């Protein structure tokens, strides 16, 4: 069946993506047309709702993807690390919100960013952090802008709406010469929504929580001009964003099976997949084994708590369609195991050694983080037209 390596390369790759020299499996394939469609979908929503977008670049970690968000230019962004802030700043993104609670020793890097002309905003939820920001402002002469994190659903950090700590934080900031730029909330709890109604309610609760704290601050005499909300589920569910000045979301550019499980997108919207090669079979067990393990997909099992567990991902043909009920159910470092979903009655497809398949990710942020580059399909073609690099580290 397999004659020469040349035959293999030709035979197994007849339906493959045409490219100068194919990248080695496993690799990350990005469908630029779907990315653009996903971006336009959220932009259209926010235009209708009259609110700005400050996309979170922690999912894509790619300057090239960020440029698609701003029609080739730059704009306000959200980052999850100072490494991202530095890298995007060097590409002309100068309005940056660092949306992870501040470790005070990082203020040196924050001050340096401001001195380089970057409006780098930090996030805090305690008086101790506010004192550190105020002290750094005093010490440097740089008026550091800080957001006060609001906790709307008890899933992580933040000050609860109604807690007077928010006003105390603003007082400490501004008394020390720093700036209380506004409030920030992230409805992480929305990921557990199980219906459209729950998503709409989570979005409204997120909005109301942020606006409530912003009003408390304004009542105490602080301008707090920015009200920043967002998560991909709530950004796509919000029916009213009164009082909100900007929406942060990141996952929406790629989407993933967790988002499809919540009902925020269809599986067909997923813009990213991991291309792997079949390397073996265990017919008695109904297993197809590939060269794409958790090193390529990540260990994220985010759908395991959803009504439908998609394992490490759904499996699709290289040229598009899903194999019915074929799931990547197990992973070791460099091996993936594909099996038919239990009880589905579907037949295991015949995928000889050498066949290439695509695994749709459970969690795009985690899967992308396992790779250094995106192999990017040119819209309207099946050709990899460019290779986009990703950031890493802190």
Q: Name residues contacting a copy of itself, limited to 285-324 (CB under 8 A).
A: 285, 289, 291, 294-296, 298-301
- Count H helices and E strands in the chain, helices first: 12, 17
Cα–Cα dist 344/374, whole Å: 33
Two structure tokens written together for 168: 């105390």
Residues 159-198 that bind a copy of itself (CB under 8 A): 188
Residue with smaller CB distance to a copy of itself, 4 or 48: 4
Residue with smaller CB distance to a copy of itself, 51 or 355: 355
Is residue 209 a contact point for a copy of itself (CB under 8 A)? no
Q: Which stretch of DSSP H or E encloses residue 226?
A: strand 226-229
Of 41, 153, 354, 387, which lies in the binding site for a copy of itself, with binding defined by CB under 8 A? 354
Residue in the block written with tokens 């099976």: 257
> Which of these segments, 103-111, 208-216, 239-247, 264-272, binds a copy of itself (CB under 8 A)?
103-111
Is residue 122 a contact point for a copy of itself (CB under 8 A)? no
Two structure tokens written together for 243: 């009082």
- Helix, coil or strand: residue 332: strand
112: closest CA among 153, 142, 87?
142
Of 38, 78, 81, 190, which lies in the binding site for a copy of itself, with binding defined by CB under 8 A? 81
Cα–Cα dist 98/298, whole Å: 24
Q: Closest distance between a copy of itself and the C-beta of residue 343, in Å?
A: 22
Cα–Cα dist 98/56, whole Å: 10
Residue with smaller CB distance to a copy of itself, 9 or 37: 9
Cα–Cα dist 31/148, whole Å: 37
Residue with smaller CB distance to a copy of itself, 31 or 86: 86
Q: Closest distance between a copy of itself and the C-beta of residue 89, in Å?
A: 16
Of 20, 154, 321, 345, which lies in the binding site for a copy of itself, with binding defined by CB under 8 A? 154
Q: Closest distance between a copy of itself and the C-beta of residue 99, in Å?
A: 9
| DSSP-derived secondary structure for 100-153 | EEPPGGGHHHHHHHHHTT-EEEEEE-SHHHHHHHHHHHHHH----EEEEEE-SS
Is residue 101 a contact point for a copy of itself (CB under 8 A)? yes
Residues 360-389 that bind a copy of itself (CB under 8 A): 363, 365-366, 369-372
Of 51, 126, 231, 310, which lies in the binding site for a copy of itself, with binding defined by CB under 8 A? 126
């Amino acid at each position: 069946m397999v004659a020469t390596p040349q035959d293999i390369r030709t035979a197994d790759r007849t339906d493959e993506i045409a490219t100068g020299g194919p990248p080695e499996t496993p690799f990350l394939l990005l469908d630029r047309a779907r990315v653009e469609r996903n971006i336009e979908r959220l932009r259209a929503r926010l235009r209708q709702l009259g609110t700005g977008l400050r996309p979170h670049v922690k999912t894509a970690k790619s300057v090239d993807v960020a440029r698609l968000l701003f029609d080739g230019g730059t704009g306000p962004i959200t980052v999850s690390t100072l490494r991202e802030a530095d890298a995007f700043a060097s590409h002309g993104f100068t309005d940056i919100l660092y949306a992870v609670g501040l470790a005070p020793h990082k203020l040196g890097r924050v001050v340096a960013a401001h001195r380089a002309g970057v409006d780098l905003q930090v996030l805090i939820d305690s008086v101790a952090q506010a004192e550190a920001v105020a002290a750094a402002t005093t010490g440097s002469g740089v008026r550091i802008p800080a957001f006060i994190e609001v906790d709307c659903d008890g899933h992580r950090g933040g000050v609860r709406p109604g807690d007077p700590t928010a006003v105390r934080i603003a007082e400490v900031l501004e008394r020390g010469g720093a700036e209380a730029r506004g409030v920030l909330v992230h409805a992480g709890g929305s990921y557990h929504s199980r219906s459209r109604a729950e998503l709409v309610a989570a979005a409204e609760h997120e909005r109301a929580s942020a606006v409530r704290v912003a009003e408390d601050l304004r009542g105490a005499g602080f301008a707090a001009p920015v009200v920043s909300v967002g998560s991909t589920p709530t950004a796509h569910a919000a029916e009213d964003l009164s009082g909100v000045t900007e929406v942060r979301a990141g996952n929406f550019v790629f989407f993933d099976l967790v988002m499809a499980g919540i009902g925020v997108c269809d599986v067909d919207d997923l813009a990213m997949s991991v291309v792997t090669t079949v390397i073996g079979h265990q017919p008695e067990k109904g297993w197809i084994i590939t060269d794409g393990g958790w090193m390529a997909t990540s260990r994220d099992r985010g759908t395991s708590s959803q009504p439908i567990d998609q394992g490490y991902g759904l499996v699709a043909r290289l040229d598009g369609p899903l194999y019915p009920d074929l799931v990547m159910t197990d992973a070791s470092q460099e091996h993936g195991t594909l099996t038919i979903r239990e009880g589905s009655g579907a037949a295991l497809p015949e995928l000889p050694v050498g066949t290439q398949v695509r695994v749709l990710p459970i969690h795009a942020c985690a899967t992308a983080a396992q790779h250094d580059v995106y192999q990017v399909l040119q819209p309207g073609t099946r050709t990899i037209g460019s290779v986009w690099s990703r950031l890493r580290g802190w």
